[in-house]
Amino acid sequence: MSDFLSRLEQFLDTRGESSKIEQLTPDASTREYFRISWKNGRAIACVYPEPFIAAEQSYLDVTSLFQSCGLPVARVLEYDEELGVIVIEDFGDLILRDELGIADADRREALIDQAIDLIPRIQVATQAAFDTDSIASRLKFDAEKLNWELDFFKTHYFTTFKKQPLDAAADAALVEEFNQISEELESKATVLCHRDFHAANLMLDQGGELRIIDHQDARIGSLAYDLVSLLLDRVTEPPTAEWLAIKRRRFLAGREKLGLASIDEAAFTDEFRLQTIQRCLKAVGTFSFQSANRGKTYFVPFITPMFQIVLRAVDNIGRFPALRSILESELK
């Protein structure tokens, strides 16, 4: 029996809950998830690798923040600091990514638009995050964090996955450009972001409403961060520039409907492209690491489309020649 399951059983036993336990499979998580019987219904138990202090626990903190701002996240039903267990509301099994895979074109677009409409609602919560001193308000996509993610890509794609490290000159040139990208994006980090807002972290509940999950890593970032994540994560074919423009306009209109500041479309397009470079390269680093170190080779088919998307963004921006050269070489 795993330590995770043992602690969950201890948690349930101390509460007099005789529960049927079904293990669920997280994607790339250090936590383990279980569906359990709970108080004449069912719930999801998240078991962490180690004990936590509730006041410092990011999932509890961000859930409280999101709920206070009317965002559709699961209610916390109970938790145990020492055993490292949090029990939350069960939304069912329908992940948005799975539904998008079987939906017809009209429903697919409608669901994507519904997801886009959640992003301005998260950004509305920015002030509340600061007012309540949420953990999310104390974390930021600053240059150090952004650069760390880009270095993660460089290390795990070239060295871990390909086993072909860059030569010293190419590496130095790429590091210089990564510094530029990170510094520019830090200057744009002004709003609350989910941080991993993609179709695998959205669910459809029993009533067909979209619900947000896996939000514990929320932090302050660019206006474009969550939109890039939603539209460009794990695609097998790069979307058209026209389609992306339509979705950007919907996002900007959604912000204005909620009373947020109007954003110039051209300026936002530039920010979106810059964030695309950073976020998609970060994703390639994750795909490379998960494939090479954890045997999750189903991530590999997403690498080439990510590079194609990044190259298009680099070409549109008209900068970063070292990155362009490397991407062109990888896509030959």
Question: What pLDDT, in 10s, does the model give residues 220-270?
Answer: 999 999 999 999 999 999 999 999 999 999 999 999 999 999 999 999 999
**Residue ranges covered by each domain of the chain:** 3-89, 96-330
Query: Candidates 3.40.250.10, 3.40.50.300, 3.40.50.2300, 3.90.1200.10; correct CATH number of 96-330?
Result: 3.90.1200.10
Average of per-residue pLDDT across 42-67: 97
* Residue 40: per-residue pLDDT: 86
Provide the pLDDT for residue 327. Answer: 98
In angstroms, the CA 118 to CA 254 distance is: 9
- The mean pLDDT value for 98-105 works out to 96
Q: Is the pLDDT of residue 69 over 90?
A: yes
Residues 6+ apart with CB under 8 A from 154: 166, 171, 174, 175, 178, 285
Q: pLDDT confidence of 50, banded at 50, 70, 90? A: very high
**Which tens digit of pLDDT belongs to each residue from 257-272?**
999 999 999 999 999 9
The pLDDT of residue 250 is 98
The pLDDT of residue 77 is above 60: yes
User: Which architecture does CATH list for 3-89?
Assistant: 2-Layer Sandwich (3.30)
Tokens 């999101």 belong to residue: 66
pLDDT of residue 16: 84
pLDDT tens by residue, 134-174:
999 999 999 999 999 999 999 999 999 999 999 999 999 99
The percentage of the chain sitting over the pLDDT mark of 70, rounded to a whole number, equals 98
Angle between helices 143-153 and 265-294 (to 10 degrees): 50
Residue 178's H or E segment, with its range, is: helix 168-187
How high does pLDDT run on average in the chain?
Answer: 96
Q: pTM for the complete prediction?
A: 0.94
The reported pLDDT for the residue numbered 29 is 66
pLDDT tens digits for range 4-22:
999 999 999 998 877 789 9
Question: What is the mean predicted confidence (pLDDT) over 195-208?
Answer: 95
Place of tokens 């074919």: 237
pLDDT at 1 over 90: no
* pLDDT > 70? residue 324: yes
21-39 per-position pLDDT tens digit:
999 976 556 899 999 999 8
What 3-state class would DSSP assign to 202?
A: strand
Compute the average pLDDT of residues 81-86: 97
CB 98 within 8 A of CB 209: no
> 89: buried, middle or exposed (CB in 10 Å: 19+, 13-18, 0-12)?
middle
